[in-house]
């Protein structure tokens, strides 16, 4: 009983700390600091900008830097595979920079939990994000987004569905994001491979590693869609792309190899061995 009470108290304290005014103030100071550096043509490495407020890893900090360079003239996000939208890539932008957007997830419990959270902690001057509960595939992704009221240019697209991420991004045409964060499979190393599309796939499938696309294949898809690789989370599996022609000088393209330098990446390669000879497509 006491243990559960202390656990709940810790979680409440942790959540409330995210809404401390000092968090927003410090981020806005950092935002303007980056803008000054960029306007003076001083180099800022995206790898050095990461921190976490709501994101699962350090994506919050890297997105803050990117949008300092790009500008926040379009504060709209679409996050697919969002879970409850709390520990997400978009929540920090919503709560601390006034963004609006769409969370899509196939788990009804997650969607219910997310709606409850955003009802309890509403943005002080903006309206709540929209939540859609649905399994997402190539065939329905554009309709799900458009039916929720989103189309055209948006600021951020985040995809993390533990499965058909590659095929879903390939199919999206109803929105045109400036920045894309998408999960790749570092276990596949530098092979240019994609697991064949399966609209009915659910994790873990036939093997927990047999889904998605390699970093190389995902980057090739990004280039076909008009994006360049600019970074990743420290562990190397959440790749970050920016649309070509936007802040090219301030946010230069980086190589796939440069973002796969964490020691854990080499360990992940071992997980590919049992499925090395399974069926793959070229990216």
Task: Please give the average per-residue pLDDT across 192-216, as a whole number.
Answer: 93
Q: How many structural domains does the chain have?
A: 1
User: What pLDDT is attached to residue 12?
Assistant: 44
Record the tokens describing residue 242, joined without a space.
């920016």
How far apart CA 130 and CA 67 sit, in angstroms, is: 22
Q: What is the pLDDT of residues 181-190, one digit of tens each?
A: 999 999 999 9
What mean pLDDT value characterizes the chain? 91
**Global confidence as pTM:** 0.92
Q: Which long-range contacts (CB under 8 A, 24 or more apart) does 222-225 make?
A: 222/180, 225/169, 225/170
CATH code at position 151: 3.40.50.150
How far apart CA 189 and CA 1 sit, in angstroms, is: 47
How far apart CA 72 and CA 69 sit, in angstroms, is: 9
Q: What is the pLDDT of residues 97-111, one digit of tens each?
A: 999 999 999 999 999
Q: What is the pLDDT of residues 46-77, one digit of tens each?
A: 999 999 999 999 999 999 999 999 999 999 99
Pairing mode, if any, of strands 238-243 and 76-80?
A: unpaired
How far apart CA 139 and CA 95 sit, in angstroms, is: 32
> Does 268 score more than 70 pLDDT?
yes
Question: Does residue 71 sit in helix, strand or coil?
Answer: coil
Domain extent, residue 76, equals: 2-282
How far apart CA 177 and CA 66 sit, in angstroms, is: 13
Q: Residue 267 — very low, low, confident or very high, per pLDDT cuts 50/70/90? A: confident
How far apart CA 222 and CA 73 sit, in angstroms, is: 23
């Amino acid at each position: 009983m006491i243990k559960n009470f202390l656990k709940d108290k810790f979680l409440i304290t942790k959540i409330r700390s995210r809404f401390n005014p000092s968090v927003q103030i410090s981020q806005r100071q950092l935002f303007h600091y980056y803008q000054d550096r960029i306007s003076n043509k001083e180099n800022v490495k995206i790898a050095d900008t990461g921190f976490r407020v709501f994101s699962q890893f350090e994506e919050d900090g890297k997105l803050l830097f990117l949008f300092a360079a790009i500008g926040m003239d379009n504060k709209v996000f679409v996050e697919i595979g969002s879970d409850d939208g709390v520990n997400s890539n978009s929540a920090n932008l919503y709560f601390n920079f006034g963004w609006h957007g769409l969370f899509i997830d196939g788990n009804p419990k997650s969607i219910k939990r997310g709606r409850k959270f955003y009802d309890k902690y509403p943005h002080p001057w903006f309206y709540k994000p929209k939540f859609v509960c649905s399994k997402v595939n190539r065939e329905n992704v554009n309709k799900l987004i458009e039916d929720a009221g989103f189309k055209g240019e948006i600021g951020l697209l985040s995809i993390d569905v533990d499965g058909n991420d590659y095929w879903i991004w390939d199919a999206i045409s109803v929105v045109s994001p400036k920045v894309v964060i998408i999960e790749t499979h570092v276990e596949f190393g530098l092979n240019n491979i994609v697991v064949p599309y399966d609209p009915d796939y659910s994790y873990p499938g036939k093997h927990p590693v047999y889904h998605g696309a390699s970093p190389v294949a995902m980057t090739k898809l990004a280039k076909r869609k008009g994006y360049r690789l600019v970074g990743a989370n420290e562990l190397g599996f959440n790749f970050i792309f920016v649309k070509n022609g936007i802040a090219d000088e301030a946010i230069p393209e980086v190589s796939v190899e440069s973002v796969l330098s964490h020691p854990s990446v080499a360990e992940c390669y071992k997980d590919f061995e049992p499925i090395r000879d399974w069926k793959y497509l070229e990216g």
